[in-house]
Amino acid sequence: MKMIRPVCLIFVFLLVFSAIFTGLFVSLEGKAMSTDYSSAKAMCVMESSSKRVLKSKNMSAKLAMASTTKIMTAITALENCPDLDQVFEISPKAVGVPGTSLYLRKGEKFSTRQLLYGLMLVSGNDASVAIGEHVSGSLEEFVKLMNQTAIKIGATNSHFDNTHGLDSKTHYTTAYDLALITSYAMQNNTFKEIVSTKNTKITNSDGKTRYLKNKNKLLNSFEGCNGVKTGFTDDAGRCLVSSAEKDGMNVVCVVLNCQPMFEECSNLMGQALSEYKLYDLTSFYNLPKSICVTNGRTDKAQVGTMGHYYYPLKESEVKAIQIDYQIEQKLEAPVEKGQEVGVVKIYLDKNLLFCEKIFTIDGVRRNSLWQKLFDVLAQW
């Protein structure tokens, strides 16, 4: 029998060790992907109504965002175009714009609504220029509107140089800002309808039809997905903003410079929607139904609040909610309907989430001889 050489034994040992290590790495990688892991350069998952950040990574880093820019282009157009269905002629400036294109031709006629579908489904750079020129008269003026809209929304770490997202040193956003912009845009029903459309067609005034297919694969693969936009340039890398709704809660996920953008957005949104639930925190109130009234026609005045406040919470956080009531113990008649009598504050781990006033629901007249005489005369 031949002796096994030491070199062979070492080789076999290395093979076995490599297999064990590889299996361990795959296991650990799988575990990481099932938690908050993200290979994105920056990411943010936000609940749309409260703007609470549920997950994040480098969310304040200023980065290029490629065609996710068109979210701002679309909402700016929707808010500033008086007639979305007015047909207009495509100018020479909108023809031959580099990058993804609808291949618009000079003199073709479309409506803003039609071009918004071309903008958001197939990412037409030429459509973005045509929209900007039509809405504001010039591309420069429209870009000013985009930046003004960003400030209005609160996206103060963003700056837009163009309508399409082609790379520029001073064209940037953050994952947080882009989530904020998208949450705002998703409140617009027309925007929401457009970005949730999987397939459609647009026909110009000459009868030529273009068939449009949405590039956002999650619309077909993630239950509840309702938008919104893909993007890619050399500087920005692969970018995706996606949105999904479950049990009345809508989350927006932004990943910037992320190679597996669809997979990671799906993973992050799935986690957020399973870990958090949207609660109406005003349903936790334990307000007194009334306040005592002295010298009144009745001895009590009904009280209540007027608002609702929805906020995403983990199950473990529900018990950490604290509500502080500051309310008057007694009122002197007369009491007016809608009179402010206190305030209620909602805290999560000592952080103030919401504050609203407490009002009287009904009025109470003063119980006096003159009041009784006034009532008699009023009925006479």
Quick check: 42 and 30 in contact, CB under 8 A?
no
Task: Catalytic residue, from 38, 67, 136, 242: name it.
Answer: 67
| Sign, Cα dihedral of 219, 224, 227, 232 | negative
Distance in Å from the first CA to the final CA of the chain? 127
> Is 90:130 a contact under the CB 8 Å cutoff?
yes
Strands 290-294 and 330-332: parallel
CB 186 within 8 A of CB 253: no
Q: Which two tokens stand for residue 81?
A: 């175009």
Give me 326's structure tokens: 């500051």
Residue with tokens 């309808």: 193
* Identified catalytic residue from 41, 55, 57, 70: 70
Find the helix or strand (DSSP H, E) in which 270 lies: helix 261-275
Helix, strand, or coil (residue 227):
strand
Q: Nearest 5°: phi and psi at 309?
A: -140, 115
Give Cα 214 distance to the centre of its chain. Answer: 19
Structure tokens at 377: 């005369």
Residue 198 · residue 209 · CB < 8 Å: no
Give yes or no: 70 in active site: yes
In the structure encoding, which two tokens stand for residue 86, read together?
A: 């007015």
Asked about 49 being catalytic, the answer comes back as no
Which is the catalytic residue, given 38, 48, 111, 123? 123
Tell me which residue has tokens 């005045």.
301
What residues are labeled active site?
A: 67, 70, 123
